[in-house]
Structure 1
Amino acid sequence: MSLIDAIDNLYEKLVADAIDETRQPDDDEDFLTDVMCVALNRLPSKYYRHSVDMVFYMAEGEMKAMKEDSLGAVKDARDFVQGHKREL
C-alpha cells in the first residue's frame, strides 16, 4: 500500500454527499465531476487516516458546519460550471 492510499480527505465524502443531495435528472457525469472539482478547490483540506479519528477528535458542531460548507460549495460550483460550459 502506498502512503497516498493510507489517507483520505473528509471533504471528498461530504462533497459527494452534497452532490447526491442536489443532483438533477439532466446532470451528466462530466458535469458532476467538474462540480466536484470546483467545490473541493473552494474548501480546505481535512485529511485523516482512520475515520474513527475524525469522529473522536472533532469538536461538537464541526461536522455539521463542514456539511453546510460542503453543500454551499456544491451549490456555488454548480452555478459556476453551468455558467462556464465547455464548447466541444
Structure 2
Amino acid sequence: MKLDDDIHNYYEHLVLERISKIGLDKTKSPDYLADLCCLALNQVPPRYIRYEVDMAFYLPQSERNQMEMNVEHAISKAIRYLDDMSSKKESEGE
C-alpha cells in the first residue's frame, strides 16, 4: 500500500499561515523557521486530510478557532524555546 502524496497534516497549513501572519517568514532564517515548525507541530495533535476543501466544508468554525488557538500557543512556546536556546549559546560564547 502507498500513501497518497496529497495526504497531509492540516496543522501544517495552520502553522505556516500563522508564521506568515506574524511576519516571521520575513525576519527569520530558513533553519529557524524549520525548527519552529517542528517544535510547534510536535505540540498539536495531527489532523490528516487529503484535500483542503474537506476542512473548509466539514470543519465547524468553533473547531477551526480552537485549532488556530492551539497553533498560536504552540508557536509562542516554540519561539520562547528557540530564543532561550539562542541566548544561552550567545552567553556561552558559541
With normalisation by structure 2, the TM-score equals 0.77
Aligned residue number for residue 9 of structure 1: 9
Unaligned 5+ segments in structure 2 are: none
Question: Of the two structures, which has the highest relative contact order with CA contacts closer than 8 Å and spacing of 6 or more?
Answer: 1
Greater C-alpha Rg: 2
Higher mean C-alpha displacement, 78-87 vs 11-20: 78-87
- TM-superposed CA distance for 1:24, in Å, is 7.3
Aligned pairs for 1:4-83 within 5 A: 4-22=4-22, 23=24, 26-83=27-84
Q: Distance in 2 between matches of 1:74 and 1:40?
A: 9
Distance in 2 (alpha carbons) for counterparts of 1:8 and 1:25: 25
**Structure 1: runs of 5 or more not aligned:** none
TM-score by length of 1: 0.82
Summarize the Cα distance change of 1:28–1:3 in structure 2 as closer, same or farther, 3 Å threshold.
Answer: same
- Offset of 1:55 from its aligned partner? 2.2
Runs (4+) of structure 1 exceeding 6 A deviation are: none
- Length, aligned pairs only: 87
Q: Percent identity?
A: 32
User: How far does residue 65 in structure 1 lie from its aligned partner after superposition?
Assistant: 1.6
RMSD: 2.2
